[in-house]
A = this chain, B = another copy of it.
């Protein structure tokens, strides 16, 4: 590779997210953390990834403020990896990935789980994107434009449906 290209200085927020959590394991680690995993061994067993990789990934997630280390809640001398608010903020990304599989996967019968609302136990609706005045938006209804206060050269890009 000569060095895998990093997007951390890209001005696109999507690229910046991918730089932080866009690798093969980070999102699954966060998924497990949302399911309640806290200990190194729990992550390793549930995900089945090599321990050296897990070490590197957990360290990177801590460095980025997605996980934080805390003394183990069971009183032992070990440590736990806990989600920060930034880590819990990944939830909508995981929901979007899940719903994309549910809608478009070629073999949906292999998906054995559904996301439900805890109170009623029924499947959730699809993620919805609204305008400030309450209209439900699709990709075709949106565009990307320069943020006020930044260099004005950026052209308005229309998202084509």
**Which residues of A are in contact with B by a Cβ distance under 8 Å?**
4-5, 9, 11-18, 22-24, 27-28, 31, 34-36, 49, 65, 85-86, 88-106, 110-133, 135, 137-147, 150-151, 154, 157-161
Contacts and interface: CB of A to CB of B under 8 A. Distances in A.
A13 to B, nearest CB: 4
Nearest to A27: B18
How many protomers of this protein does the assembly include? 2
**Dominant secondary structure at the A interface:** mixed
Contacts of A141: 117-119
Given A13-B105, A117-B141, A146-B113, A128 B127 contact: yes
A16 B105 contact: yes
A34 B159 contact: yes
Given A5-B49, A92-B96, A129-B127, A22 B14 contact: no
